[in-house]
Amino acid sequence: MSLTPERAPLPRNMIENDMFEEEPDVVDLAKESPSYPIDSDDVVYEPRSSRLLVRGLGENDLDEDEEDYESSARLLGMSFMNRSSNQRSAASSYTRQQHSGSCSRPSTKTTVVGVFILVLVASVFMVIYFVPGCTFSRNGCPKTNSTMNSIYPISTNGEVFPWTELRLPSSVHPVHYNISLYPNLTLMTFQGSVSILVEVLHETKNIVLHSSDMSITKATFEGEEVHVLEYKPWQQIAIKLKDVYKKGQYVLNINYKANLSNSYDGFYNSSYVDTNGTKRVLAATQFEPLAARKAFPCFDEPAFKSTFTIKMTREPMYISLSNMPKVKTTDLKNGLQEDEFEKSVKMSTYLVAFIVAEFVGVSNNVSKTMVSVYAVPDKKDQVQYALDTACKLLDFYNMFFENDYPLRKLDLVAIPDFLAGAMENWGLITFRETTLLVGSNSSSIDKQLVTSVIAHELAHQWFGNLVTMRWWNDLWLNEGFATYMQYMSIETVFPDLDIDTEFLNVRFKAQGKDALNSSHPVSTVVSTPEQVEEMFDSVSYEKVSKQNLSVSEMMNTWTVHKGFPLVTVKRSGIKVTLTQEHFLLNAENSTGDSLWHIPLTYVNDSCSLLSSCKQVFHLKDKTATLKLPSQVKWLKFNFRSDGFYIVHYDEEGWSDLIVALNEDVNVLSSKDRAALINNIFALSRAGKVSFKQVLNLMDYIKNETATAPLTEALFQLGQIYRLLDKRSELNLASRMVSYIDDHFGSLMENQSWDLETSVSNMTLRSALLEMACSLDISNCTVNAKRLFDQWLTSNKTSHFRIPSDLMRTVFKVAAQTDEGWSKLLYTYKHSINDPEKRKTLEALASTQDVRKIIWILQKSLDGSEIQTQEFPLVINTICKNFAGYLYAWDFVKENWDQITQKFPVGSFAIQSIIMSATSQFSTKTHLMEAQNFFSSLGTKGSQMRIVQEAIETIKLNMRWMDNILNTLQNWL
């Protein structure tokens, strides 16, 4: 799945269900937490292990004790990886610690008194027990059940629910689902029936599966009606069987009804207004990670792979789509039609998908696969680029993996109301309109985004769909490798899109998050739904590197440890001492015991630009020594920033590199220069180098012309400016503007405002001019107003086009006047070009008018005039400016309940909202306010990892500002 784009143990043996003949001791776990932590990874499936599932390999053929727990890296070893022979070690056994030491012997008197008391207490209890009716209470004392040691939850009807885990039991597995659905798009409800062929692996009297937000009207097992219990907190139902069923295959039928979801997960309703002003409705699905259970009762965990046959009843005006090709359409007596789809390949429930909508599409046959792109009728002319791109990438992946895409069709569908960037449903990939549609006015940067998302989702058809993590703790196996393939494939198939620079930026972003104490290992334990949602972050997606080495040799050091290493380089003549440690922006809580296997790459002054110049040294220990030729002047480690680590040099090492750059800016590659800027700012935030050293390096930037280092420098300086601005350090903020003008002003002044074709040039000039206009540097606002007026004069037609990469900058300038803002609002409401629409919305949200800020916050949350899916973007944009950031923070606090009804707790949208609203706080007052608010949310809100990240970021901002203010006073 692609994220929304932004430019932003208690070991217990499983007790079989049929053992419970007596009434167990019970407690409602929704109200009272158990006295032990529920670690689902240690109960049902391989403890602390994740075996990947490959379609058709018979993952249920072995008993659990006999299974070969191969490492994730081994099963992912396709054409470009060495197969691993390592096995992940099983969890160590639990040993109770015995108390040591001796006790003094009690006196005779003490012993006698103690025995007397014990006899007295025992006598009292015997009297209570044997007195008829236990008359110490009005109703007597019920006989307690001392044979049940486990604690069981209470179902909605008051009965005991026969399962105690968040993860489902392994005693029953699905084999095949027959699903029939009828969504009523007038009433926004749906009726469904599911027939599940299940395989009982261990004899049982109960079948436990998932179901959420639906009313079950009837359930039968092998033709006999059965009793259904529900435990809502875990979204589970239990089918109580009349007999003990032994190993074998059986059929479970369930009829149900539900409302189409109003949020963005499950089987949800969506709507849009066409160009005639008519409201159109549709129904679509988003099941990853835990929402298939909202559309049909199922075994909703990725390990329970199965096949599916889907039938969809609809009104004739709509079409329906699902994972597989359509077999036939049947006319029903009530005027409806039923579409039946082919039996699917074996797959996880989160990949099932279906859509009912008024869509149109275009198709092309490639590599024995019919590739189609669907959109609303008004936007049919915007689908051709996506079709051409998908066909080229499908050809590439078929060749590269040497394993053809296994389905006969592949649909890509643009959904008008969709929260994520896209979703890799097998054979039916769903997208935001912004990430799939390309209009005639779209720039190469817009095409870069669309190409990236398509490449990512197509890679998932192998990484994730064909090869699947067993549980969500190894989400990185899906997302990390899909991200890697996304950039690698585009670099090969679409070299003109300059994707390598973007890949560098996402690695910097991932390092920024992974350098926090609140980060997590790539592979980590997740139990609750909120923890599963939170795994969808930049660490899972973007902690990848371009090293092409044996995976098996070093995989564990990079997936089990949280964070990444800092390599410190100290040189004495020809001797170089290399030391590694865990890099943390706040190292106070560092344990310091993590060691990585780091393939260090480096170049020197004699050869520094070509790949052939690169040398490699494998650092596996805490410290190692490297010897150099005597004539080496300087060293640059992490060649082209291909490795996921930060490098710190001693004072002489930094000085040599700074001198070299000032003498010749091209002595290092542009990516190496960008990495030096990124690393020294990160080291400054961590307190490893003084900010004076940062400014020393930045002196060379006046001679810089390349996109990667310039955009990285602008990003870092922009962060400092916004922190100063939010602290009302008006004098220093003004001097920072002067500093930026001094170092970048001439470059900003020389940027063209005409149409540009180079992606690299567009990326650079949009960054330079957006910064210049926001800080009112040079003549930026004058030129922006001129372009906006020309655009209005031409009646927004093709006779005059604002270059797409400059549109956001031009619109943001225009939005600062009442007239400009009103015209942009009209444009937003009537535009059918999605890149233009999104940039218009960002401009509207950049206003300094408080009344407009409050209006746009309200309208984007309630969805009345701005799509609710854009609320995170609105918050992010408003919080960048001084005028609105406190209003946005107050709005988030006051509307938290409504926000979490729209977006799942822990989801990427919630993560974005929280970080946007708090990431520029840097005062004690704001820290206390944030702590008080998040602590008031209760366990679901306050325990989110993103909350910890937000609090940690505020503290780091406070410390960094305190550390650099004096330097800024003296140097700016």
| pLDDT one-digit tens code per residue, 593-614 | 788 999 999 999 999 999 999 9
> CA angle 711-444-707, nearest 5°?
20
Q: What dihedral angle (degrees, nearest 10) is formed by the CA atoms of 207, 208, 211, 215?
A: 50
Which candidate in 59, 457, 704, 842 is catalytic?
Answer: 457
Identify the CA nearest to 325 among candidates 337, 338, 308, 343. Answer: 343
Which residues, at least 6 apart from 782, have a Cβ–Cβ distance to it below 8 Å? Answer: none
Categorize the per-residue pLDDT at 523 as very low, low, confident or very high, splitting at 50, 70 and 90. Answer: low
Q: Which long-range contacts (CB under 8 A, 24 or more apart) does 200-203 make?
A: 200/171, 200/172, 200/245, 200/246, 200/247, 200/248, 200/249, 200/250, 201/60, 201/170, 201/171, 201/172, 201/173, 201/247, 202/16, 202/170, 202/171, 202/247, 203/16, 203/18, 203/244, 203/245, 203/246, 203/247
User: What's residue 518's pLDDT?
Assistant: 62
Q: Averaged over 44-62, what is the pLDDT? A: 35
| Residue keyed to tokens 């007239």 | 819
Q: Quick one: 934 exposed, middle or buried, by C-beta within 10 A (0-12, 13-18, 19+)?
A: buried
Residue 562 predicted with pLDDT over 80: no
| Residue keyed to tokens 């489902």 | 168
Categorize the per-residue pLDDT at 467 as very low, low, confident or very high, splitting at 50, 70 and 90. Answer: confident
Orientation of helix 759-774 relative to helix 804-814, angle to 10°: 10
Identify the CA nearest to 289 among candidates 911, 870, 906. Answer: 906
What amino acid occupies position 638? N
User: What's residue 76's pLDDT?
Assistant: 36
**Which segments of 57-208 does DSSP mark as H helices, in order?**
72-75, 108-130
Categorize the per-residue pLDDT at 543 as very low, low, confident or very high, splitting at 50, 70 and 90. Answer: very low
CATH code: domain 558-704 is: 2.60.40.1910
Give the range among 176-180, 193-197, 726-730 with minimum mean pLDDT: 726-730
Determine phi and psi for 859, rounding to 5 degrees: -70, -30
- SS3 label, residue 316: coil
Categorize the per-residue pLDDT at 519 as very low, low, confident or very high, splitting at 50, 70 and 90. Answer: low
Q: Which run of H or E residues covers position 258?
A: strand 248-259
State the Cα–Cα distance between residues 857 and 845, nearest whole angstrom.
Answer: 9
**Which segments of 375-443 does DSSP mark as H helices, in order?**
384-401
pLDDT in tens, 947-968: 989 999 999 999 999 999 999 9
Residue 5 predicted with pLDDT over 70: no
Q: Averaged over 256-269, what is the pLDDT? A: 94
Give the range among 92-106, 382-396, 754-768 with minimum mean pLDDT: 92-106
State the Cα–Cα distance between residues 274 and 728, nearest whole angstrom.
Answer: 45
Report yes or no: 369 and 394 within 8 Å, Cβ to Cβ: yes
Q: CATH 1.25.50.20 occupies which residues in the chain?
A: 848-971
- Cis check: omega of the bond before 183, within 30 degrees of 0: no
pLDDT in tens, 58-73: 333 333 333 333 333 3
Beta strands at 360-366 and 354-357: parallel, antiparallel or unpaired: unpaired
Q: CATH 2.60.40.1910 occupies which residues in the chain?
A: 558-704
- Answer yes or no: is 479 a known binding residue: yes
Which residues, at least 6 apart from 83, have a Cβ–Cβ distance to it below 8 Å? Answer: 74, 77, 552
pLDDT more than 90, % of the chain: 66
State the Cα–Cα distance between residues 657 and 764, nearest whole angstrom.
Answer: 24
Report yes or no: 392 and 450 within 8 Å, Cβ to Cβ: no
Q: What tokens does 40 get?
A: 């689902």
- Answer yes or no: is 176 a known binding residue: no
- Conformational region of residue 634, where left means phi above 0, alpha means psi within -120 to 50, and beta covers everything else: beta
Report yes or no: 354 and 181 within 8 Å, Cβ to Cβ: yes
State the Cα–Cα distance between residues 129 and 121, nearest whole angstrom.
Answer: 12
CA 713 to chain centre: 26
Q: What tokens does 934 get?
A: 């998040």
State the Cα–Cα distance between residues 853 and 885, nearest whole angstrom.
Answer: 10
Categorize the per-residue pLDDT at 42 as very low, low, confident or very high, splitting at 50, 70 and 90. Answer: very low
pLDDT in tens, 354-375: 999 999 999 999 989 999 999 9
Q: What is the average pLDDT score of the chain?
A: 83
Sheet holding 369-375, edge to edge: 360-366, 369-375, 409-415, 428-432, 422-423
CATH 1.25.50.20 fits 848-971, yes or no: yes
What is the C-alpha radius of gyration for the chain, rounded to an integer number of angstroms? 31
Q: Which CATH architecture has domain 166-358?
A: Sandwich (2.60)
Which letter does DSSP use for residue 530 in this model?
A: H
User: What's residue 62's pLDDT?
Assistant: 36
Q: What tokens does 73 get?
A: 């890296």
- Answer yes or no: is 520 a known binding residue: no
Orientation of helix 707-726 relative to helix 730-749, angle to 10°: 160
pLDDT in tens, 123-151: 433 333 333 333 333 344 444 443 343 58
Report yes or no: 723 and 920 within 8 Å, Cβ to Cβ: yes
Q: Tell me the CA distances in angstroms from 37 to 42, 154, 170, 705, one per residue in order.
A: 11, 19, 20, 55
Annotation marks residue 457 as catalytic:
yes
State the Cα–Cα distance between residues 155 and 220, nearest whole angstrom.
Answer: 19
Q: Averaged over 767-771, what is the pLDDT? A: 97
Sheet holding 319-322, edge to edge: 266-273, 279-286, 354-357, 319-322
User: What's residue 2's pLDDT?
Assistant: 72
> pTM for the whole thing?
0.82
User: What's residue 31's pLDDT?
Assistant: 33
Which letter does DSSP use for residue 59 in this model?
A: T
